[in-house]
């Protein structure tokens, strides 16, 4: 099974916007600026982002952000982008991987990491993930 097939859940950009508490335009900019990457998937191919590229915020963090969001009339975020993802995407883009190759790599088992790069990054192993990514170039 390819890494892409191993992605358990995909979010559309409106889903991402809702969960990040941002408007759709800002989420599109996150994709353009390589903070996250997605692929066109589904019956009607729309851009979708792997849900594993986000981590839930703690209840305390949601509460803290809720107060600020309410003052500014914004929605409250329930997730954030996995720490280290944007920089890792930049590295993978710099070695000329396509978006499809990037998603495939993130969700394929890596012997050096002992798990998928996505799982390693979610568990805070940013340096190890970046070392593994550098070996691709």
- Using an 8 Å Cβ cutoff, are 75 and 69 in contact? yes
Residue owning tokens 């995909």: 10
DSSP-assigned letter for residue 78: S
Report how far apart the first and last C-alpha atoms of the chain are (Å, whole number).
Answer: 23
* CA angle centred on 45, ends 11 and 106, rounded to 5°: 50
pLDDT tens figures, 46-78: 999 999 999 999 888 888 777 777 777 777 888
pTM above 0.85, yes or no: yes
Rounded Cα gap, residues 69 and 49, in angstroms: 24
The whole-number pLDDT of residue 130 equals: 97
């Amino acid at each position: 099974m390819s890494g892409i097939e191993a992605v358990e859940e995909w979010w559309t950009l409106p889903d991402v916007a809702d969960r990040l508490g941002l408007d759709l335009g800002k989420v599109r900019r996150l994709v353009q600026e390589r903070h996250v990457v997605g692929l066109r998937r589904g019956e009607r191919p729309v851009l979708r982002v792997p849900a594993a590229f986000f981590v839930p915020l703690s209840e305390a963090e949601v509460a803290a952000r809720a107060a600020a969001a309410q003052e500014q009339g914004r929605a409250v975020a329930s997730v954030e982008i996995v720490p280290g993802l944007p920089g890792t995407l930049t590295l993978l883009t710099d070695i000329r991987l396509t978006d499809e190759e990037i998603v495939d790599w993130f969700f394929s088992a890596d012997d050096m990491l002992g798990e998928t790069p996505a799982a390693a990054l979610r568990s805070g192993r940013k340096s190890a993930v970046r070392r593994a990514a550098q070996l691709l170039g």
